[in-house]
Amino acid sequence: MDNGPLQLDVPLDQRPRHIAVIMDGNGRWAQRRGQPRIEGHRRGVDSVRCVTEECARLKIGQLTLYCLSSENWKRPQEELDFLMHLLQQYMIDERDTIMRNNIRVSVIGRREGIPQPALQEMDKTISLSAGNTGTRLCLAINYGGRAELLDAVRQVAEDVQQGRLAVSDLCEQSISDRLYTAGMEDPDLLIRTAGEMRISNYLLWQISYAELWVTERCWPEFREADLHAAIRDFAARERRFGGLGPAAPAITES
């Protein structure tokens, strides 16, 4: 019997505004079942759909998914070809879902290496959803945190060289404004699946104060209930941003 959508007992103002996810374990999930790695990637798309729709329903401001890292190009060509096909097909197949849920799509990362047909479908989906006002779905494709910082520093150097920016005016915002994520809020919550305890070169600047939540479940197994568990855990934490918590005792001299 279908009891309808799961209910999340966390007030809207206590939910993360921006959730970032390292979607790990597709290959391991498939291999444990005696299936090729690409089947794990195929099944992972179902998790992307479920989590994206649930974030839209929960009014999460932004969901950023680590789809393809700049290091993933070291994988076998057959797997890479399938991932590029999957990306292209996702951009076509999910348009109705994206538009129905008022989701705005954006992509961060370098475009080099991504086949032109996939880029065309990606750009079309971005354009079609540009006017949507609900959850922002940001896909990190051919993305690396160090590469992003390098590109930002290069832009800063060029702006200084061209006289558009004075060295004396450089600040953290100067970097933030030149990242791929310029104009986006930093993630409040970073979820990683498959039990790995690594950041993996993901949003290195942006996750400075993000809460980390790791699950042993592989990405193809991740569903709405897991997302709710992460949000509940996030809401129960005390975020101090380097300061003292409200209940911190005063320091007195003995």
Token pair 């540009």: residue: 130
Closest CA to 140 of 77, 184, 82, 95: 184
Q: Which of 3, 46, 72, 151 is catalytic?
A: 72
Asked about 24 being catalytic, the answer comes back as: yes
CA atoms within 13 A on the CB side of 53: 17
Distances (CA, A) of 115 to 81, 88, 112, 142, 228: 9, 9, 8, 12, 36
Q: Specify the 3-state DSSP secondary structure of 48.
A: helix
* Residue from 2, 9, 13, 24 carrying the catalytic annotation: 24
Structure tokens at 249: 């005792």
Answer for the pair 149, 205: CB distance below 8 angstroms, yes or no: yes
The region that residue 124 occupies, defined by phi over 0 for left and psi between -120 and 50 for alpha, beta otherwise, is: alpha
Is the distance from CB of 220 to CB of 38 less than 8 angstroms?
Answer: no
Sheet holding 189-192, edge to edge: 104-108, 136-143, 62-69, 18-22, 189-192, 211-214
Q: Quickly list DSSP for 192-207.
A: E-TT----TT-STTTT
For residue 142, indicate whether it is catalytic: no
* Residues classed as catalytic: 24, 72
